[in-house]
Structure 1
Amino acid sequence: MAVRDELGRAKSRSTKFRVQNTSSMGWRSTSKHWWLWMQVVVVLVVLASEFGVHGQDLGTWEILLANAGIASMHAAVTNYGTVVLLDRTNIGASQIALPNGTCRDSNDLVLPHDCTAHSVLFDPSTNTVRPLTILSDTWCSSGQFMPDGTLMQTGGDFEGIRKVRTFVPCPATGNCDWVESTTQQLQQPRWYATNQLLPDGRQIIIGGRAVFNIEYIPPSANGPLYFDFLNATNDGQNDNLYPFVHLLPDGNLYIFANRDSIVYNYVTNTVVKTFPRIPGEPRNYPSAGSSVMLPLLASNQFSVVEVLICGGAQYGAFLEPWTRKPCSITCERIVVTDPNPIWVEEQMPIRRCMGDMILLPNTDVLIINGASIGSQGWGFADDPVLNPVRYMPYGSPDARFTTLTPSTIPRMYHSTANLLPDGRVMCAGSNSHQFYTFTGDYPTELRIDAFSPPYLSASVAPIKPTISVYPLQVTYGTPFTVTVSTPSALTTVIELNLMSAPFNTHSYAQGQRLVNLNVGGSVQVAAASVYQITATAPPTPQIAPPGYYMMFAVNQRVPSVAVWIRVTS
């Protein structure tokens, strides 16, 4: 609104100037004419600079699929480059049939005999989907990949609230599908919980609605452990759901819920550090801010850890949605490893809640999706935010944000965003209704689109690297070599960044991390700008839990297409 108002004032001033100077008074002086027009030009230039419209590339959008068959409440990219999309089952029929004429008979509240799919596998190389079979309700569930690449998916609602499901990825042409365990279930019901892969390969599952404890997969012998932090951060809106969880390089967990955060030692079940309360609004579901742990850097031996939290809804926006309270405009950043950490506030260009924060391979953060009014919930938000915003964490503090090209598709409640191996960010979903509803201001969204950040523009082609030779597996702390080619000769050392494939849901990417590798330099091995780069694998599983990562080569902040590499002991 501020943008439109300022542009309107500039246009008004320009129009007024033209009327005054074409009246019977004539031109009073050439110098005055020049000066007034310069004022108008300055206003427009300032506006263009503020919103990034000054010749630089601001990214592009493309529709990948007009109808995925389901809305996307959860999404994860597999090590085959395919994307698993999930919606809830207790929603009635979707728009894609189960394969081979099969149907699902269950105690579903809406459609007990259901012949449609509520999960699909999307192939970005062909922009097609294949239906998958999910049997129990995955509404507001959680998940993360295991070390062998299996997607572990837990909890949900109704008959799915204790379910454990697995998806073993296969090539896009394969027939892999969901398997729901008949012998294992969660020790506690989990709805709106968070999963985190641990250094030993287990998953820790934290919280859920009215569940103030933690548990593990595989389960621990002593059962769920009471976790008072979740009880202490509860409020009248339950703003401690989907807590933000980041595995720290020392093996402890940084856990944020509502407005408070701690460092938790899960081995001893103790809180080892407490942080100041974050200023402003609640930040977790249903208030729906988002969080990332900023890249772990080899340059400081992975010893400095910063967490960034952006957006959120005002308290009461969920309890009284008719008030249409404006969302937060702040980002708060804290150095977790500081002896006396404090929150440092920055202002986003646009108010936002329900935004997704996606780490990009060049260490930037993309803030995408969401609304500027309201909170999460059925129809509780308005004024969708169509412009992604780029945040450059290592840029000048007064120039870290850039407003990028807007989408044409509102994506608010129950939407997802995931980084693809080619560097695009895929967006799917948005359904602020209890069932599929294709009328009204914000109908259920079945389209899939992708945003190409500025580093994918044609102008950077001369410096874009390509990975040609690489190991499929590396061992902690050991050196390895990668062959990289560039269209033009290198002027800087190529960076190598490992990026996890998180489980994205409800404005938070569970398990997301970027690990910048220690690179010893590059040696030119051919005249055509081909280089052999020596790097060292992450030193410990605390820095990079075992599993599959996308490895990007980055030349002057321009990333290659990623290759998949497994990190293991």
Structure 2
Amino acid sequence: MKPRPRTSTPRRLLSAGIGLVVLSVLVFVNRPMVAFGADALHDFSINRESYKQKYGHWSRLPVPQGFRVNAIHAALLNTGKVLIVAGSGNNRDNFEAGTFRTVLYDPAKDSFSEVPTPTDVFCAGHTFLPNGNLLIAGGTKSYEVLEKNITHAAGVMKIKNESATGGPRAFPKGTTLLSADGTAYRTRDDLTVPAATTMKHGDEVMTHAGAAEVWVDAVEEGDGPIVDHPAQYTVSGLTGADKRNIYGLADKITREKQEYGGDKTSYEFDPRTERYVRTGDMVEHRWYPTLAEMPGGDVLAVSGLDEFGRMLPGHNERYLKDQRRWVDAPELKRVFPTYPALHLMKDGKLFFSGSNAGYGSDTEGRTPGLWNLKNNTFKEVPGLRDPRMTETSSSVLLPPAQDQKVMIFGGGEVGESAVSTARTAVADLDQPAPVYEPGPDLPHPARYLSTVILPDDTVFTTGGSSGYRGGRYGDKTRSDLFNAQIYRPGTGKFETAAESSVGRNYHSEALLLPDGRVITMGSDPLYDPSGRNPGTFEQRIEVYSPPYLFKGDRPVIGGAPEAVQRGTTFAVATPDAGRVRTARLVRPSAVTHVTDLDQRSVALDITPATGGLALSVPKARGLVPSGWYMLFLTDAEGVPSVGRWIRVR
């Protein structure tokens, strides 16, 4: 075989290399121009009418500097204003300074105002009451302390009083307790210990000691005062019978991490006066609780951490709305992880979708199921794929509410795991033996995904991150997701929506506005975009306009009653009666930690009437809880009217 003749390939390669170098230099020199051109093309594309009609459109809300807060909670009031609650905003300096914040945003005027905030409602629970007030209960009594910052051993001490005749005993902050070897500990707060009580059991009289708990800290620094077993302690300065009758007990005193402690204050936020109104205190201190409305309008408080950062072991309580006070509900003892998603069904049961915010046992109380409040029974709903990945997931009662279907979206492994899932699933709770059936996967695994019911019977999903608090997931230093999608229950499929420009993960919210737009806010990442430095709370606010707002004129509601009764028919004046295809009552959102139990969309039967339409409200109280709703009329193209506020009694 003859050798191949030499060619000029090396010269051609050299020429090509020179050309590439020159081109690279030109690109480098013109990089700002290239980037500018790409950005300009992107802006042109997303602002085309045809693009907005298919994908919708995002815009940035200009927030004045003085009203930028760490949005931890958000609720749409029946005045049309958005309540944005920060409390201390997950900021220890704010907590210690007593700086607690709440801001009102008025979409109609595009204005902001400040609301006096009496205590730290950071990580409280909330839900709307039938009168339109927002019940807000629990919150933060103390911030967590990491192990590396604990210099003095500490623990929870139970002070007991075995005297039934001496009355309650008050001990000031700093009271000293001594161990058997003389090690000294001091109480962190003032404390009142109730007197003992006597009870007759048959012929025998029994004394039950009064007891109260308090944090104690070792006087001496270091590991010396650590106690790893249950022990009894004497109260310094007591003499005589008091020395025998009053003493301390502690299971352990350590330098372990101290969790957030829950508060027990409770308020109704009044949309008319725009003020917090104090109610009776909760029975238990609660941090990360869920408040779930019951069919009669009272509210059930479930789960949370107590004032010492311990999970409440199934101790639930009820808010009596007519008396504005909380009472214990031992007949409804049931364990759930924190912020459990409990959806009210038409038969009055609460469906636990499995979604939760994280704290609690990694096994107990995490199984989805129907909770019967009449007899405290729980019927499990099986079939959920990735059943351990329900932490930081979201769930929603799919529209219309009459279908009684709940959908769960994404979620992550228990604890501070980077693992998450793209799984969705739907449970048809009208079935005799409901199970979760697979839904379409999300485009990416997602935690903290916000889900918002829209007036056209779709669900808008946005935000979230693949990793824990936007942290590393796979090879990414920040795992925030910017994609958004719209789920259509009728087809069981997602449709792509316009991408947002702001990442949203932990402590983020999204809710529907009366004009049909969606407002998004918050996000509390662990790290900055580099993945190396601490993150800062996201205070920018974006608003999404769904595709239906770019598809022509909207139906108009000319007149409607301010209040209607369940099970009755009412008249609505509209010049667009002939084009209206659906009528929906959409309950406003009250959302935190992507838990939103209030939002629901109820279908109304439509009958033609003189000058408009006659709309019929279902009569099931569990389907249409009493309270304020937005009435939307929607045409065949899915274009909704502006929402009209109506109170259902």
Where 2:346 maps in the other structure, the secondary structure is coil
Which of 96, 121, 134 matches 1:151? 134
> Which residue in the other structure is 2:426 paired with?
333
> Which residue in the other structure is 1:133 paired with?
116
Where 1:165 maps in the other structure, the secondary structure is strand
Mark the structure with the bigger radius of gyration: 2
8 Å CA contact 2:73–2:592 kept in 1: the answer is yes
The reply on whether 1:490 has 2:570 as its aligned counterpart is no
> Which residue in the other structure is 2:399 paired with?
295
The reply on whether 1:564 has 2:645 as its aligned counterpart is yes
Where 1:371 maps in the other structure, the secondary structure is coil
Alignment of 1:205-220 (within 5 A): 205-209=301-305, 210-211=311-312, 212-218=314-320
Unaligned segments of structure 1, at least 5 residues: 1-18, 20-47, 93-107, 231-239, 526-530
- Letter paired with 2:603: N
8 Å CA contact 1:281–1:313 kept in 2: the answer is no
Per-residue CA deviations over 1:425-460 (Å, capped at 9, x if unaligned) read 10111123599xxx9585322122210111111xx2
Q: Offset of 1:485 from its aligned partner?
A: 2.8
8 Å CA contact 1:119–1:133 kept in 2: the answer is yes
Q: For 1:202 and 1:550, how far apart are their aligned partners in 2?
A: 22
CA spacing shift, 1:540–1:228, aligned 2, 3 Å? closer
> Which residue in the other structure is 2:388 paired with?
282
Per-residue CA deviations over 1:55-91 (Å, capped at 9, x if unaligned) read 9520111112234320111000000000111113275
Where 2:642 maps in the other structure, the secondary structure is coil
CA spacing shift, 1:224–1:143, aligned 2, 3 Å? farther
Where 2:455 maps in the other structure, the secondary structure is coil
Where 1:471 maps in the other structure, the secondary structure is coil
Q: For 2:330 and 2:477, how far apart are their aligned partners in 1?
A: 35
Q: Offset of 1:329 from its aligned partner?
A: 0.9
- Letter paired with 1:153: I
The reply on whether 1:191 has 2:282 as its aligned counterpart is no
> Which residue in the other structure is 1:471 paired with?
561
The reply on whether 1:351 has 2:445 as its aligned counterpart is yes
- Letter paired with 2:353: F
Q: Offset of 1:148 from its aligned partner?
A: 0.8
Where 1:57 maps in the other structure, the secondary structure is helix
> Which residue in the other structure is 1:362 paired with?
456
Where 2:479 maps in the other structure, the secondary structure is strand
> Which residue in the other structure is 1:176 paired with?
274
The reply on whether 1:449 has 2:542 as its aligned counterpart is yes
> Which residue in the other structure is 2:78 paired with?
79
The reply on whether 1:384 has 2:480 as its aligned counterpart is yes
Q: Offset of 1:109 from its aligned partner?
A: 6.7
Per-residue CA deviations over 1:73-122 (Å, capped at 9, x if unaligned) read 10000000001111132755xxxxxxxxxxxxxxx8755445x5511111
- Letter paired with 2:621: P
Q: For 1:267 and 1:434, how far apart are their aligned partners in 2?
A: 46
- Letter paired with 1:58: Y
Unaligned segments of structure 2, at least 5 residues: 1-15, 17-44, 143-261, 306-310, 356-365
CA spacing shift, 1:533–1:110, aligned 2, 3 Å? closer
Q: Offset of 1:249 from its aligned partner?
A: 0.7
Q: For 2:629 and 2:494, how far apart are their aligned partners in 1?
A: 27
User: So what's the TM-score if we normalise by structure 2?
Assistant: 0.65
Q: Offset of 1:313 from its aligned partner?
A: 1.1
The reply on whether 1:227 has 2:344 as its aligned counterpart is no
Where 2:574 maps in the other structure, the secondary structure is strand
Where 2:578 maps in the other structure, the secondary structure is coil
8 Å CA contact 1:518–1:535 kept in 2: the answer is yes
RMSD (CA atoms) = 2.9
The reply on whether 1:555 has 2:635 as its aligned counterpart is yes
How many residue pairs are counted as aligned between the two chains?
454
- Letter paired with 1:404: A
Q: Offset of 1:222 from its aligned partner?
A: 5.1
Q: For 2:479 and 2:90, how far apart are their aligned partners in 1?
A: 25
Per-residue CA deviations over 1:200-231 (Å, capped at 9, x if unaligned) read 1111112123122321112575544453443x
Where 1:348 maps in the other structure, the secondary structure is coil
- Letter paired with 2:268: T
> Which residue in the other structure is 2:377 paired with?
270
Q: For 2:73 and 2:111, how far apart are their aligned partners in 1?
A: 18
CA spacing shift, 1:277–1:141, aligned 2, 3 Å? farther
CA spacing shift, 1:110–1:296, aligned 2, 3 Å? closer
CA spacing shift, 1:283–1:538, aligned 2, 3 Å? farther
CA spacing shift, 1:187–1:376, aligned 2, 3 Å? farther
- Letter paired with 2:643: A
> Which residue in the other structure is 1:534 paired with?
614
Q: For 2:605 and 2:395, how far apart are their aligned partners in 1?
A: 25
Where 1:354 maps in the other structure, the secondary structure is coil
